[in-house]
Structure formats: structure tokens, C-alpha cells
Amino acid sequence: MSKRIVVDPITRIEGHLRIEAELDTQNTITKSYSSGTMVRGIEIILKGRDPREAWAFAQRACGVCTTVHAFASIRSVEDALKIQIPKAANIIRNMMIAQQYVHDHVMHFYHLQALDFVDVVSALKADPKKTSDIQQSISNWPNSSPGYFAEIQGKVKAIVESGQLSLFTNGYWGHPAYKLPPEINLLAVAHYLEALDWQAHVTKIHVIFGGKNPHPNFVVGGVPLPINMENDQALNAERLAIISESITKINDFINMVYLPDVLAIAPFYKEYAGLGEGLGNFLTWGEFPEGDIHDLSKLYVPRALILNRDLKNITVPDPRDMEKMKEFVSHSWYKYSQGNDVGLFPWKGETVFNYTGPKPPYEYLNVEEKYSWLKAPRWNETPVEVGPLARVLVMYAKGNQQAAELVELVLNKLNAPVSAVFSTLGRIAARAIETKLFGDLLPKYYGDLIAEIKAGNTKTFNGDKWDPISWPEHAEGFGFMEAPRGALGHWIVIDSGKISNYQMVVPTTWNGSPRDNKNQPGAYEASLVGTQMAIPDQPLEILRTIHSFDPCLACAIHMIDAEGKSVAEVGTGFNVCLT
Amino acid sequence: MYGSNRKIVLGLGNTLNRDEGLGVHCLEPLRQRLRDPGEVEILDGGVLGMNLLPFVEASSHVLILDAIDARKPPGTVIELTREEIPLHSQIKMSDHQVTFQEVLQFASMRGKLPGYLHLIGAQPQDISVGYGMSPAIEAVVPVMIDRAVRVLEDWDLISPV
């Protein structure tokens, strides 16, 4: 007799996600269903607008993903209109993208994922001296004295006693699946708090290159900031020095805190190196163009498709392939004009809401019918996973030496075979590995930028095709960004100078998709099968694996609630929701 | 851009969900009204969530403009003083996403909650997908601006307008 449990909402993510799982008598998950319960409608808002302004709307859909949508949007317009950006602008963009990864991944690890593995309350039992010894053995991070950790412990104690523990939202303190000794729990809590201070430093790259903060500026054709050493409104020597200092702070934290913490925590959870994989299919659009964006050989993270874990026969997916790149809505609350089971290529995509689910409050979704606001993107009718694990696998398989060394480092620490990377822990480790790789790109790109400036190549904007008179009557474009969560694509169609269609296929749609026309599960759904739960109504095991994907269904709705209760249930409401 | 003791007016909300963007839509009219803003910075916080923590923690004065759900008729203007903003209630909003209340909680926990904190908002009517506000809420903007100016005057940050 199977039973079904519902986890709604999945806490500590951006946005609103519901998981329903069927358990056998041993409490092992046999089937699971992922439902995005908030709708996104940005595509509707963009129709009829000036393509040069699309980024400003796209970045508003989500507070976490502003940069990634802005970049994918301007790249889609540049692709459609065949605009080449100046070399210095490309380097600046790459630096902004690298910074975005690092910032996002560190905050995800400490604020959204760590509490699945770190028991905050247990930290109170730690001996600060021992925590200090551990810290000093794993890195040269200066905050390492017994006194420092005793002080942190005091803070945690005050928080617990004041009843403000809700801040560390919804941890299952004392759950038997927590395995860390108190001393490592204390270490991680200290770094959880330090990450908050660190984030103030890391955004400086965006503030300077984007010209303002919050909500930096972007521009089709380059970057909005001119380079001029004599002008205090431009990128000048003073601002370059701030960026250089910021890069050092970013990398110190990665090298001395984040990466060592992941390596210290992972060995206590080795069972997660054997579960949580799911599909075994992976896709990347690629990132960090180190030359013309259309030259795929110049992408630092290659564009690639991996099927059935086969790292020897990697192919290159073409986002313009109208036969292979399709979104399905067989189990999604949308309506296609050509029927329920067809797939649509994004340039031909449709966004028509069609909620057929139960009226809330409800017990279960009808998973045989439509059950999610996420569409089901598929590559050649095959579900794929996107994100850090996909990227690290591709870099590893394509001979990125540093990536291979970092993968070996983690595997040695776990004393595990290569196959262990196809797992929940593999995903978490991959996030840390690529943070290190991309953090190291920052000083390299900074050096490249200085070299360009010294050579007099200070142009940052190409305005040749700014005027719509220079545009063709009809144009189609694809813009991508490997967002921290995975492959993001914007497909744009421009007619008579205005947007006539716009579709985003975002990482969480790939990973969190419901079943498709062939009833194939998405990545989240597949990843949970086989996981045994210790206490079914405390679904820590589900959170660990789902969080390892870093879901972002972040939504528009964030209103301050004067009564301090849940904002009115928005399950079937029409709210923008993205990546 | 990175001082301390900043004095900020922070407009919050998502402009892609009609009235949800009220706080952001108030910023431009406020900017025009304050011919001499002095030290006051007018910032568009959007839905940036935790990314706003550094701004809040670096500020001595924070005036928040936002849509507020108080189960009141649409257009009702609501003001909350520093003490009235629900920081430690049985919060459920974190279920949805990292919200601005959580940002305030973090600042409070870290002992960095601004000494001067005030919120002005209004009950929205229509938060469906779309750009631009409903007429009823559009009409509330001047009221919000009047109240915002009064708060800034009370804080001695601007000369009487």
C-alpha cells in the first residue's frame, strides 16, 4: 500500500514549489511530482515593446536573477540584429557574469542549502577551541580563534533564547539525518553569518560596471559605462582599483571558507554521493565567450549535450533546431492552439493560461492531468538536467585541466569513484568547484581588460544598429546565459521594430518541469526516486536533493504583510514567476 | 555608493504585477517633489530581497514605500512605525521567498536595524500580470508622497517643502 506525502511549500528556495511523493512501505520514494504553483507571464508583457528595452522588464521578474535575464535578453536582441559588441565590453560582461555566479553560489550554499546539513541548535554544544583547531587545519582564514567562535556561539544562543530561530527557516533541528559534530556545525554557522558581510563587498563589480545600484544598467550593443581615465563619471583608475580589491575579497572567501567548508562537510554525508541523480542527461548553452559569441570554440564553458552519463560522445545542441528544442504543456496549465500534446519551438511558443487544477485548499494535485505552471522543455523529446553539475561534467569531459583537478580533489576527499558525481552531493560539490573556477577567471579577465585599455581599445558600445531604421523588417534571435542555476535561453522575434514573440526557457523550468507528452518525469521528479526517508513528515531528505538544484521560482509577489501572516494564498493567482 | 549612516527612501515591489509595483512607481513623483533632497537617497529596491540587506544595514534612516496586504479595502493607505513593523511574528511569508521582512529580521538579529525606520503603503487592488497600476491605486500615489514628505520632515532630513 503506497502513501503519498506533500511538501508544500519547499522552504528555503526562491519562489513557490510543491512536491508530491509516493512512498512504499519502507518509506522509499517510488514516484514524485514537481509543481510550480505560481504562473509567469512576462512573455505577455513584452509583446509589442521595443526590443532594446526588453532587458529592463525581463530583469524585474525576479530579484535574484536580474542580471541573468538582462544578459540573456540583450544577447537575444544582438543575435537577432547581428550586433557585435566591442572587445572591452565583452570582457566587462564576462566579469559581471563571473561575479554573479560567485555571489549566487556562496549565498545559496550558506543561506539556502547548508541548513539541510548543518544543525544550528547543535552548534550550542560545540567546544569553541576544537572548532578553532578545525578552522586552522582547513585554511588560513583569519577568523579562527577560540574566542571568535565562542562569540558566535553566544550570538546563536541569544537567537535561540529570544525565539528568533525562525530566521534559520524551517530546519528540522535534532532530526536523526543530521550527522555533523557540533564543532563543524558551529564553524558553518559562523560562516553563514560572515557570508552576509561578504556579499556587501562582492557586488562592487556590478555597481561600478552597471553604473548604479540597485538595478544596474545594461545596454544592447555593449556596456553602458565608458572607459576614460580622465573622467570621474567613467571607468577610471580609481574604480579599477576598487574592482581589483573586490576580486581579492571574493576569492579569499572562496579559497579559505566556501571550498574548505564543502570539503569538511561532505565526508559526513557520503550516502548522498550515491543518490539523487535522476536523469543522467545534461545540457549546457555555454558561457564566457572569450571572443565572438557565435564562435563556440571560444566559450570557456562549452555548449554541450550529455546523454545517459556518456562523457565520451558529447554533442553540441543547436538552440535554433526547431525539431529538437521544444516545450510541452501536456501536464502544464497552458493551452496550445495546435493541441495538448504537441511541442512548440520557442520562436513559435505560446503563453495562454489554462488552469484546470483543483480549487485551493486541496489535498492532492491530479497528476494524471495538468499539475504545474511550469512547462516541460525537452531536447529531442528527452528530459535533461541543467546547472552546475552539467557544466562541471562538460568542462571535465572536454579537458579543462583545473576542473579535472578539482573533481579529483573532491573524489579523493570522499574516497569515491567518478560515478559518485552523478548525485545530490555531486551537484553540491559541482557548485563549489565552478565557483572556484569562475572566481579564478576574475583576475584573468581583469588583466585582459587592463591590457585592452593600455592598447587604447576603450570602446564599450557599438551603436551602429541602435536606430530601428537599420533593422530588418523581421528578425529572430537567441540569447543565452548559463545562469547560476543552469542553461537559460531567451528566444525573441522582432517584427517592424517591435517584439512580436518572446519566450524564456529558464533553468528551473528544465529541472523542475512536470511530466511531458510521453509521461517522462523532469529532473527533480526523477532525482527523488529511490530515496528513503527517516521520518516522512519531516522531509529533510527531499529538501537536500531539491535544494541541490537551487530552485528559483522567485516570484513577483513579495508584499509586506501587516499582520505577519501568509500573504493571501496565491496558488492559482496570476503572478509573474520566473527562473 | 557605500557610505554609512545613509538616509534612504526604498521603493519596493514588482512593476510587472500592476499594483504590486506601487512602491517603485512612487519614486519618480517623490523625486520631483523633493527639489532639494539633501542627503536623502531615493532607491529602487524592486524585489531584490536579501541583496538589500547591505543597504538597510548601512542606513540610519530607512523609509519604505510598498504595497501592503492588511486585508483592507483597496487603496487604503497604511503606515507602520518602526515598532509596528512585524519582525518577530509567526512569519509565514518566508515560505514564498526571501522577503523584505526577512531582510529586516536579519538586520535586527545582527543589531543593525536602522534607528529610524518607517513604512508607508497601500492595499493593492490588482496584482495580476501587467505593467502599470489600476486607477484606484494610481490615485493613492499623491497621498503616499504627502506622507513620505512629512516623515522626511519629521526626521529633519529635508526642509519643509
In chain A, residues with a C-beta closer than 8 Å to the C-beta of B92 are: 565-566
Most B-contacting residue of A558, A567, A572, A575 (CB-CB within 10 A), to test interface: A558
pLDDT of residue A550: 93
Q: How many CB pairs under 8 A join A and B?
A: 186
Sign of CA dihedral B155, B157, B160, B161: negative
In chain A, residues with a C-beta closer than 8 Å to the C-beta of B129 are: 39-42, 44-45, 574-576
Q: What are phi and psi of A537, to 5 degrees?
A: -90, 5
The residue of chain B with its CA nearest to that of A553 is B97
In chain A, residues with a C-beta closer than 8 Å to the C-beta of B94 are: 11, 166, 169-170
Q: Where are the beta strands (DSSP E) in A417-497?
A: 474-483, 486-495
Report which DSSP code applies to A222.
B
The residue of chain A with its CA nearest to that of B15 is A60
In chain A, residues with a C-beta closer than 8 Å to the C-beta of B23 are: none
d(CA A13, CA B96): 8
Contact B69 A559 (CB under 8 A): yes
d(CA B161, CA B158): 8
3-state secondary structure A542-564: HHHHHHHCCCEECECCCCEECCC
d(CA A93, CA A97): 6
> How far is the alpha carbon of A381 from chain B, nearest alpha carbon, in Å?
30
Span B95-139, pLDDT tens digits: 334 578 888 888 988 889 999 999 999 999 998 888 999 999 999
Contact B94 A111 (CB under 8 A): no
Q: Locate A572 and state its grid cell.
A: 492559482
Helix (H) or strand (E) holding B57: helix B53-57
> How far is the alpha carbon of A578 from chain B, nearest alpha carbon, in Å?
12
What is the CB neighbour count within 10 angstroms for residue B90?
10
Q: Amino acid identity of B22?
A: L
Query: Could you tell me the pTM of the whole model?
Result: 0.93
For residue A446, give the nearest of A229, A258, A219, A241 by alpha carbon.
A241
d(CA A188, CA A523): 29
For residue A122, give the nearest of A159, A73, A156 by alpha carbon.
A156
In chain A, residues with a C-beta closer than 8 Å to the C-beta of B102 are: 167
pLDDT of residue A575: 27
Interface of B with A in 55-114 (CB under 8 A): 55, 57-58, 64, 66-71, 78, 80, 85-86, 88-102, 105-106, 109-110
> How far is the alpha carbon of B135 from chain A, nearest alpha carbon, in Å?
19
CA distance readout (Å), A132 to A149, A265, A462: 7, 16, 53
Sequence-separated (6 or more) residues with CB below 8 Å from residue B58: A200, B2, B3, B4, B5, B6
- Please report where in the chains the cell 521544444 appears, as a residue: A326
CA distance readout (Å), A136 to A144, A260, A409, A452, A566: 6, 11, 19, 40, 43
Sequence-separated (6 or more) residues with CB below 8 Å from residue A454: none
Contact A561 B86 (CB under 8 A): yes
Nearest CB to A560 within list B68, B95, B96: B68
pLDDT of residue A36: 84
Evaluate whether A509 touches A485 at the Cβ level (below 8 Å). Answer: no
Termini Cα distance of chain B: 26
Q: Locate A178 and state its grid cell.
A: 543530521
Nearest CB to A555 within list B45, B97, B131: B97
For A188-204, give one letter per residue: b (16+ CB within 10 A) or e.
bbbbbbbbbebbbbbbb
d(CA A184, CA A403): 27
Span B11-63, pLDDT tens digits: 998 888 899 899 999 999 999 999 889 999 999 998 888 889 999 999 999 99
In chain B, residues with a C-beta closer than 8 Å to the C-beta of A159 are: 109
Nearest CB to A60 within list B16, B90, B109: B16
Q: Does B20 lie at the interface with A, CB-CB under 8 angstroms?
A: yes
Q: Amino acid identity of B148?
A: A
The residue of chain B with its CA nearest to that of A14 is B97
Termini Cα distance of chain A: 36
pLDDT of residue B88: 56
Report which DSSP code applies to A359.
P
Contact A107 B12 (CB under 8 A): no
Domains of chain B with bracketed CATH = 6-154 (3.40.50.1450)
> How far is the alpha carbon of B148 from chain A, nearest alpha carbon, in Å?
17
pLDDT of residue A8: 83
d(CA A373, CA B74): 27
> How far is the alpha carbon of A211 from chain B, nearest alpha carbon, in Å?
10
pLDDT of residue A386: 98
Q: Amino acid identity of A412?
A: N
Q: Amino acid identity of A282?
A: F
Helix (H) or strand (E) holding B69: strand B59-69
Evaluate whether A307 touches A350 at the Cβ level (below 8 Å). Answer: no
For residue A511, give the nearest of A7, A36, A21 by alpha carbon.
A36
Our CA dihedral for B69, B72, B76, B79, rounded to 10 degrees, sits at -60
For residue B20, give the nearest of A38, A219, A492 by alpha carbon.
A38
Contact B109 A164 (CB under 8 A): yes
Residue with more model confidence, B4 or B151:
B151
Sign of CA dihedral B40, B44, B47, B49: negative
> How far is the alpha carbon of B116 from chain A, nearest alpha carbon, in Å?
18
Q: Amino acid identity of A387?
A: G
Nearest CB to A14 within list B15, B55, B98: B98
Sequence-separated (6 or more) residues with CB below 8 Å from residue B155: B7, B61, B116
Interface of B with A in 115-134 (CB under 8 A): 119, 121, 124, 127-131
Cis peptide, bond prior to residue A539, ω within 30 of zero: no
Contact A61 B44 (CB under 8 A): no
Evaluate whether A123 touches A182 at the Cβ level (below 8 Å). Answer: yes
| Beta bridge mates, A283 | A305
Contact A199 B53 (CB under 8 A): yes
Q: Where are the beta strands (DSSP E) in A336-463?
A: 343-344, 376-379
Contact B16 A566 (CB under 8 A): no
In chain B, residues with a C-beta closer than 8 Å to the C-beta of A57 are: 16, 131
Per-residue pLDDT of chain A in tens (579 residues, 90 and over written 9) = 579 999 887 777 777 789 999 999 999 999 999 998 766 678 888 999 999 999 999 988 777 788 999 999 999 999 999 999 999 999 999 999 999 999 999 999 998 899 899 999 899 999 999 999 999 999 999 999 999 999 999 988 988 887 766 666 556 888 889 999 999 999 999 999 999 999 888 888 888 998 888 888 999 999 999 999 888 889 999 999 999 999 999 999 999 999 999 999 999 999 999 999 999 999 999 999 999 999 999 999 999 999 999 999 999 999 999 999 999 999 999 999 999 999 999 999 998 889 899 988 889 999 999 999 899 999 999 999 999 999 999 999 999 999 999 999 999 999 999 999 999 999 999 999 999 999 999 999 999 999 999 999 999 999 999 999 999 999 999 999 999 999 999 999 999 999 999 999 999 999 999 999 999 999 999 999 999 999 998 899 999 999 999 988 764 334 455 543 333 333 222 222 222
The residue of chain B with its CA nearest to that of A568 is B69
> How far is the alpha carbon of A9 from chain B, nearest alpha carbon, in Å?
6
Name the packing angle between helices A128-138 and A146-161 (round to 10°): 120
The residue of chain A with its CA nearest to that of B80 is A562
Evaluate whether B62 touches B10 at the Cβ level (below 8 Å). Answer: yes
pLDDT of residue A562: 52
d(CA B2, CA A203): 11
ipTM comes to 0.88
Nearest CB to A557 within list B20, B64, B78: B20
- Please report where in the chains the cell 489554462 appears, as a residue: A354
